[in-house]
Amino acid sequence: MSKSLRRVRAALEAAGVPNDVRETDGARTAQMAADAVGCALDQIAKSIIFRGEASGEAILFLTAGGNQVDAGKASALAGEPLGKADAALVRMQTGFAIGGVSPVGHTSPIRTFVDPKLMDYDIVWAAAGTPNHVFHIDPAILPDLTTAKVADFTV
Task: Place 59 in a pLDDT band, splitting at 50, 70 and 90.
Answer: very high
d(CA 152, CA 117): 9
What is the overall mean pLDDT for the chain?
A: 96
| Domains, the chain, with CATH or none | 3-150 (3.90.960.10)
- pLDDT for position 13: 96
Task: Place 65 in a pLDDT band, splitting at 50, 70 and 90.
Answer: very high
Task: Place 28 in a pLDDT band, splitting at 50, 70 and 90.
Answer: confident
Given a cut of 90, whether residue 143 has pLDDT beyond it is yes
Backbone angles phi, psi at 91, to 5 degrees: -65, -45
> What average pLDDT does this structure show over 130-140?
96
- Strand ranges in 65-128 using DSSP code E only, listed in sequence order: 82-84, 111-114, 124-127
Burial class (CB in 10 A: 0-12, 13-18, 19+), 38: exposed
> What average pLDDT does this structure show over 42-54?
98
Task: Place 27 in a pLDDT band, splitting at 50, 70 and 90.
Answer: confident
d(CA 8, CA 122): 21
Find out whether 140 and 46 touch, Cβ atoms under 8 Å. no
Are β-strands 44-52 and 82-84 bridged in parallel, bridged antiparallel, or unpaired? antiparallel
